């Protein structure tokens, strides 16, 4: 499979541009593995895998039917990949643990692993990528001569496709996940991009550099990047040094709270239009010095390729208002229902989680915002919602 997806549209310059190409992943059996111990899977609560998949399919169908976006899912991309290429990729995720074997048996085990992967169906190759199985081998004196125990390292959070990369005006930047459970997701995202005929412009690699997509919001000539629980200053500095973002200004939003329920910028701040955004009321009303208080460091392009800091520690709310952005507060009840984690599909048109308050609905309607609310209640048990589940690759 080699296709550049939707042609004639560029990489996103601003969150309010019309979404044209969206990458998503409908969760499957890997979510059941996470549900056996939600906290270790980075989930908030137990998640019913079948209900989560049903909700996600409904979200995909809504985007395909109600917007101008083409939606591609990870499974669709993998299943359409040239078989030899998929086989080589899937083979990376099947491990035989042979530490207790002799040198001769190690060689035999590896030959057998290659034989098995050479026979895999497409469905099982996709399953191997998503479940990342490890076979712990022992020799046996009976029957086939082998016995094994089986372990999985499933990609339980892959359905949150926002996080493995960011899509800048210059192209995708592959991030580095700040949780061991999610580390391999970036490889899957990069592979899917290549199958769409899109090469990333950079991959985060500096020591101490971690970048997750929920911390990035493009805003025309500037970008907002959250630094807190998941994304680090080292990643921001790496991107500015390598000049891979294509924004004239980078606004680093500093989160001192660093809590799981507001792990990324897009869990407490989001953008509807050039002059309209939402912000958690706790952040909007925070007093200086509290852990809810947000500040911004502003970096401007300094000729050539570099950036230099022009402002440090500016109150974030003050910065937004100075830039002519009206802020709609998201109260605590709506925030707990992921009212801030909507997807802007075009200027003043959003899709989010059903169950938001009449107050929020009224404030949005008064500002001419067209809203659609979907049942994503099971999917939100993983600490994310409509924005987290989409990677918008092209807008325009």
Domain boundary assignment for the chain: 19-78+156-395, 79-152
The answer to whether residues 234 and 208 touch, using CB atoms and an 8 Å cutoff, is: yes
Backbone φ and ψ of 52, nearest 5°: -60, -45
Q: Read out DSSP for 306-324? A: -EEEEEEEEEHHHHHHHTT
Question: Taking residues 270-289, what's their average pLDDT?
Answer: 97
pLDDT in tens, 352-391: 999 999 999 999 999 999 999 999 999 999 999 999 999 9
pLDDT in tens, 51-87: 999 999 999 999 999 999 999 999 999 999 999 999 9
Q: Which fold has domain 19-78+156-395?
A: 3.75.10
Q: pTM score, two decimals?
A: 0.95
Alpha-helical segments (H) within 49-205: 49-66, 74-80, 83-91, 103-119, 122-131, 185-195
SS3 199: coil
Residue 297, beta-bridge partner list: 252
Alpha-helical segments (H) within 161-299: 185-195, 233-242, 281-284
Alpha-helical segments (H) within 163-277: 185-195, 233-242
pLDDT in tens, 30-42: 999 999 999 999 9
């Amino acid at each position: 499979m080699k296709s550049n997806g939707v042609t004639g549209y560029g990489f996103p310059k601003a969150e309010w541009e019309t979404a044209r190409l969206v990458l998503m992943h409908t969760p499957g059996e890997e979510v059941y593995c996470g549900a056996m111990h939600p906290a270790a899977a980075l989930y908030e609560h137990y998640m019913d895998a079948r209900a989560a998949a049903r909700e996600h399919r409904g979200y995909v169908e809504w985007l395909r039917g109600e917007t101008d976006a083409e939606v591609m899912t990870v499974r669709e991309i993998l299943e359409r990949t040239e078989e030899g290429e998929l086989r080589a990729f899937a083979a990376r995720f099947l491990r035989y643990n042979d530490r207790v074997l002799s040198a001769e048996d190690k060689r035999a085990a590896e030959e057998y692993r290659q034989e098995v992967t050479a026979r895999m169906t497409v469905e099982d190759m996709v399953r191997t990528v998503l479940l990342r199985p490890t076979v712990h081998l022992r020799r046996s004196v009976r029957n086939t001569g082998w016995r094994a125990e089986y372990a999985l390292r499933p990609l339980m959070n892959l359905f949150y496709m926002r996080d493995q990369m960011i899509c800048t005006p210059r192209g995708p930047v592959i991030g580095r996940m700040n949780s061991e459970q999610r580390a391999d997701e970036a490889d899957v995202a990069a592979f899917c991009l290549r199958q769409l005929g899109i090469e990333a412009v950079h991959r985060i690699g500096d020591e101490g550099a971690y970048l997750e997509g929920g911390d990035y919001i493009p805003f025309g000539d500037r970008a907002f990047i959250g630094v807190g629980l998941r994304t680090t200053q080292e990643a921001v500095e790496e991107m500015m040094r390598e000049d891979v973002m294509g924004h004239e200004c980078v606004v680093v939003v500093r989160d001192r709270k660093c809590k799981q329920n507001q792990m990324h910028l897009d869990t407490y701040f989001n953008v509807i239009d050039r002059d309209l955004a939402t912000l958690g009321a706790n952040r909007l009303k925070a007093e200086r010095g509290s852990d809810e208080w947000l500040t911004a460091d502003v970096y401007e392009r300094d000729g050539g390729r570099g950036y230099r800091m022009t402002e440090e520690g500016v109150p974030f709310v003050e910065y937004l208002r100075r830039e002519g952005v009206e802020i709609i507060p998201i109260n605590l009840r709506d925030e707990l229902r992921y009212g801030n984690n909507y997807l802007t599909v075009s200027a003043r048109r959003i899709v989010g989680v059903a169950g938001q308050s009449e107050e929020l609905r009224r404030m949005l309607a008064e500002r001419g915002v067209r809203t659609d609310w979907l049942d994503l209640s099971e999917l939100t048990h993983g600490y994310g919602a409509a924005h987290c589940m989409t990677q918008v690759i092209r807008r325009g």
